[in-house]
Amino acid sequence: MTTPNDAKLDRIVAEARRSAEQRDQGYRERALKMYPWVCGRCAREFTRANLRELTVHHRNHNHSDNPPDGSNWELLCVYCHDNEHSRQADYTGVSALDAEDKPPAATSNPFADLKSLLGKRPPKDG
Ligand SMILES: [Zn+2]
Ligand SMILES: [Zn+2]
């Protein structure tokens, strides 16, 4: 059973989804119109035949930042694009790991053993 309200809601959801898809594909279309079909890293050239291997990279890694002048876009082949992102992941990964890797002071207290050693040591005879 479908009420008129449900049908209207379905249409709104469908339209919202479609416009989001168009927006995502929109920047790719625009970037491909704006820039020559050449990878910005390895200078590999592309044609319609292999155009799907040419991707649009966001220089600031923010995919919703799509200024109309294209200043946030860079055309990269899938390999260079992958490389670009793994480099970024490595960089942030290392610093995150570095921060996480430091154990809490309580578990790595170098004096904990010393203290127990001192406590166990028999008092010095006078
Ligand atoms: Zn490339
Ligand atoms: Zn990218």
pLDDT in tens, 106-122: 555 666 666 666 666 66
Q: Residue 17: its pLDDT value, please? A: 82
The DSSP bridge partners found for residue 38 are 45
Please say whether the dihedral angle defined by the alpha carbons of residues 97, 99, 104 and 107, taken in this order, is positive or negative: positive
| Predicted TM-score (pTM) of this structure | 0.55
Q: Is residue 123 scored above 60 in pLDDT?
A: yes
Residues 6+ apart with CB under 8 A from 42: 77, 79, 80
Distance of CA 27 to the CA centre of its chain: 18
Ligand nearest, relative to CA of residue 89: 2
Q: Residue 96: its pLDDT value, please? A: 39
- Cα 53 to ligand 1 centroid, rounded to whole Å: 9
- Cα 19 to ligand 2 centroid, rounded to whole Å: 22
CB 16 within 8 A of CB 59: no
Q: How many CB atoms lie under 10 A from the CB of residue 73?
A: 22
- Cα 8 to ligand 1 centroid, rounded to whole Å: 46
For 45, the token pair is 């050239």
Dump pLDDT digits (tens) for 53-91. Answer: 999 999 999 999 999 999 999 999 999 999 999 976 655
Taken in order of first residue, the domains within the chain and their CATH numbers are 28-96 (3.40.1800)
Q: Residue 87: its pLDDT value, please? A: 78
> What are φ and ψ of residue 80, in 5° steps?
-70, -35
Dump pLDDT digits (tens) for 32-44. Answer: 999 999 999 999 9
- Cα 89 to ligand 1 centroid, rounded to whole Å: 18
